[in-house]
Amino acid sequence: MLPALNWREIARLAGLASGELVGTHVDRVLIADRPGFPDGYLKSEWFLRLGDRRREAVLGFSVRPRACYFMVMPGKGPRQSSAATRSPFDQALSKHLKGRRLTGLRAIERERYLVLEFEGAGKEPDLWLILALIPALPEAFLVDASSLAVLARSRTVRDPARQLERWSWPESGRMAPDLEVREELVSSLEQWSRRVGLELEAEASQRRAERALRVVREKVKSLRARMAQGAEELARADAEPQWGVLGETLKQWLHALPPAEGGAWKLDGVDVPCGEGRTPSEQMEKFFSLDRRRRRRVEEASSRVRLARESLDRLEPWLAEGVELKGRVSELEHAAGLSAPATPTGEAERPKSKAGTGVPSRWTGKTYFSKEGLPILVGRSREENLELTFKIARGNDLWMHVRGRPGAHLVIPLPSGKSASLETLLDAAQLVILHSGGKNWGKTEVDYTFKKYVKRIKDSSEASYVQNKTLLVAPDPKRLERLTAG
């Protein structure tokens, strides 16, 4: 955890920063790109990019509870985050500070306050950016230096009348005057910035692990419910009459049926229901139809239970007490479906996915990753096909199916505005053929289209689709070996 600075340490850093920054102008206000964090940036953290003809530096500050700090780094500093949202405070900083010259940087004696003073231009007043670096309740204020009117504040308060009010200085002298200065922290701006960076790396790893564990817990809960549903379905199927036995018995006696007694035939010690309004042949076909339906339900429920059990065996160990997560966060994220697996030695590094993209958190079925890092989701049963196509996939995701044959549904989730390369399409085509039982088919036609063009046929489990394109795919064992490795 980042240590909280006392007022003397803040004053020490302020003195060092003043020599580096006073006289420079604000080039821009930015929110730093923090790719190690789940959101890609940190809320309540800002950077002022400053410079003149001779120098360039950034001053960063955070007013996050228990993680408040300011630091100075040479150069242009971090990149602007493309994922960050613009808050009213952020917009006010950009509006009022851009182009202004920093004329002073000072700490308040015996208080955890830092004041950045900016020169007004023309009729515009001087401005102060006041940082309250109090760990329990940090905050930043943009203040008109002449009237002390608060132009913007980083924290939103419930009472609108108090959101923008006149600034009043805190009562001075609340902290001891002779606090120790920890030289190992603040002997230089570089040393303190390095310490902040190390603490942020640790925090990012912890937050990623916590997010992944939340996803794993949700998946485990869903999988256990799925197993329970599958077990209930199997129990109901086992409780049904042996339709196949009834059908076969009736088939053997069709040529010489005895008279029915009490709505059933007594055949070889078995009571075979007659069925109202049906001929014996129609009743026999009804029994066989019910038997096929029961066997299909058993097969689907068994598959559901088996696949859920496999996923649970993979996920549950991560929830065990005492599991050491240090150094295994990427592995945990992959298990949670939040990222692609680590790239094997000798292959190009897969691009990192932003938070909210990649494998949908609700999908517990089979997932592969193309060479360029895009997830490929494959349904391996009728139930998974329906779930994947009509519950998981979004309108502009790519959907794939073997042309003219029953088989697996496959979906490639696409980030907004992105498309899949030919290499990814060929990877997916090999997988959909494999999971449709076509490993030895030879050249095979595979259709693909956007999911929005796929519709479920009424009163069936089948799908129809339009606006499709077709790939003619030959077997490619090396491609399959790469995709299925690990």
Work out the pLDDT band at 350, boundaries 50, 70, 90.
very low
| Highest CATH level, class, for 7-169 | mainly beta
| Residue position matching structure tokens 């409780």 | 239
Question: What confidence score (pLDDT) does residue 356 get?
Answer: 43
Residue 276 burial (10 A CB sphere; 0-12, 13-18, 19+): exposed
**Token pair listed for 35:** 């790719």
pLDDT of residue 218: 92
Q: Are 204 and 36 in contact (CB under 8 A)?
A: yes
Any idea what DSSP says for residue 261?
B
> What's the pLDDT at 236?
93
What is the pTM for the complete model shown?
A: 0.63
Range with the poorest average pLDDT among 335-344, 366-375, 398-407: 335-344
Residue 137 has pLDDT above 60, yes or no: yes
Confidence band for 346, pLDDT divided at 50, 70 and 90? very low
Q: Name the band, by pLDDT with cuts 50, 70 and 90, for residue 172.
A: low
pLDDT category at 20 given cuts 50, 70, 90 is very high
Is pLDDT above 60 for 343? no
82: pLDDT strictly greater than 70? yes
Own/partner pairs for 148-156, CB < 8 Å, 24+ apart?
A: 151/92, 151/96, 151/127, 152/88, 152/89, 152/92, 152/93, 152/96, 153/89, 154/44, 154/63, 154/87, 154/89, 155/63
SS3 of 265-289: the string is EEECCEEEECCCCCCHHHHHHHHHH
Q: 358 pLDDT band (50/70/90 cuts)?
A: low
More confident residue, 48 or 363: 48
